[in-house]
Structure 1
Amino acid sequence: MSLERAVRAKIASKRDPQQEKEAQEWVEIILKKKFPAGVSFEEYLKDGQVLCQLINVISPGAVPKYNTTGGQFKMMENINLFQKACKAYGVADVDVFQTVDLWEAKDIAQVVCTLFALGRETYRHPEWTGPYLGPKPSDEAKRDFTEEQLKAGQTIIGLQAGQNKGATQAGQNIGAGRKIIIGK
């Protein structure tokens, strides 16, 4: 098996049909239209128009103008407009797929992850009343420690504390007592 085929197989194995189905249903509910029968998830999203429509419903005016006609470059520009709008909405850069992930179907799992990240981000926007996709992000991770637990934490010494002293001394002795003879 060639390296390219192995990489494609690994990426394809990351795809989760259940997550794709959930993402598709979420998009369909928001846009109030079904994906056409016989058209795959990635084919329907490929030109970026559906994605621009989606972000415009979630965040009105996020993509004021997108391309409905034109060649490959114009359609890839739609994907870029969607990506920028997602980031402006609050989706972390690391959660946004690369254009080739969708356009060349290189990593559809990452496209689905972006939709889930967008779905989670909608929880943080009170103007959005749903539907939502994915679990609600936590607002805080509050912890209550007793006075006894706090005092116990003060007695713990970090793993590296005091451990590099010997390394420094050993480094100073490297080469000590050796003679280097060049040419004879």
Structure 2
Amino acid sequence: MSGLRAPKAGSNREVQGKVDASFDPVDAKFCLEWIKSVTGQQFRIEESNERYKVMENFYQTLKDGKLLCLVLNAFLPDHMKLDLRSKTFQDTNNLAFAAARERERIEIFTQKIQEFGVPEVDCFPIDCLYERTNLNKVIACIRAFGIEVESHPSYNGNKVWPPKSQPNVRHFSEEQLRAGQNVISLQYGSNKGASQAGMNFGKKRMIMKE
């Protein structure tokens, strides 16, 4: 549980400081505003752009995983939707059970968005959010999910994320491929304009009379 974990010290504290310093409050607030508009849930979003205030607000808002699962459910097809009445989404006064359920919700979110189409490389380990070790990855993951959502043909809502990049597949004929084999790459150098004019290696052979 993050509240019981000892604070970092030494080099770990220095590394964590650098990670926290790269946190973008504008991006974080944009993610929260998008989640609020999609889920219809009411929660406070820090008004200022003070990094650590926005960071704390972002962390506390998403830490239990409930909002992440709600925004996920808003876009999942019916056969993939989460059962929000299950025990995983129920509150409990047992701190150990509460922590386990919060972590499980975060894990469900990262697993389901991969099934939805988000690459695994764009997801984040649970501790990035739950232990707030790298909230930047959480922001990047939410952005990747939003982009994937808006790239689906069935999506007809407002588009607020950058468009997803499209592959540029090129096809070459056999003739073009064979022609390319005859081209000498510049990595091999070039002999254009080269000659042996003016070259004189070694000492000339001397013919001596007896």
Q: Give the TM-score band, short-chain normalised.
A: 0.7 to 0.9
Residue 24 (structure 1) aligned with residue 32 (structure 2): yes
**Structure of larger gyration radius:** 2
5+ residue gaps, structure 1, are 162-184
Would you say the 8 A contact 1:122–1:132 is kept in 2? no
Question: Hey, what does 1:81 align to over in structure 2?
Answer: 108
Q: Write the letter of the residue equivalent to 1:95.
A: D
Would you say the 8 A contact 1:51–1:79 is kept in 2? yes
Q: Tell me how far apart the structure 2 counterparts of residues 133 and 14 of structure 1 sit (CA, whole Å).
A: 23
SS at match of 2:15: helix
Would you say the 8 A contact 2:76–2:116 is kept in 1? yes
Q: Tell me how far apart the structure 1 counterparts of residues 180 and 67 of structure 2 sit (CA, whole Å).
A: 55
Residue 10 (structure 1) aligned with residue 18 (structure 2): yes
After TM superposition, the structure 1 stretch with the greater mean CA deviation from structure 2, 53-62 or 125-134, is 125-134
| Deviation string, structure 1 residues 51-85 (Cα, Å, up to 9, x no partner) | 00000001144323441313100111111111111
Would you say the 8 A contact 2:29–2:45 is kept in 1? no
Question: Hey, what does 2:75 align to over in structure 1?
Answer: 58
**1:88 shift after superposition:** 0.5
Q: Write the letter of the residue equivalent to 2:109.
A: F
Aligned-pair identity (%): 26
5+ residue gaps, structure 2, are 1-8, 47-55, 93-97, 190-210
1:109 aligns with one of 120, 123, 136: 136
The 5-angstrom pairing of residues 1-184 of structure 1 reads 2-36=10-44, 40-60=57-77, 61-65=80-84, 66-70=88-92, 71-141=98-168, 155-157=183-185, 159=187
Would you say the 8 A contact 2:150–2:161 is kept in 1? no
CA distance 1:9–1:84, shift in 2 (3 Å): same
Question: Hey, what does 1:174 align to over in structure 2?
Answer: none
Would you say the 8 A contact 2:27–2:139 is kept in 1? yes
Would you say the 8 A contact 1:63–1:81 is kept in 2? no
**1:37 shift after superposition:** 5.6
TM-score (norm 2): 0.65
Q: Write the letter of the residue equivalent to 1:33.
A: Q
Q: Write the letter of the residue equivalent to 1:62.
A: K
**1:137 shift after superposition:** 1.1
CA distance 1:158–1:46, shift in 2 (3 Å): farther
Would you say the 8 A contact 1:59–1:89 is kept in 2? yes
Q: Tell me how far apart the structure 1 counterparts of residues 68 and 182 of structure 2 sit (CA, whole Å).
A: 51
Q: Write the letter of the residue equivalent to 1:100.
A: D
**1:96 shift after superposition:** 0.5
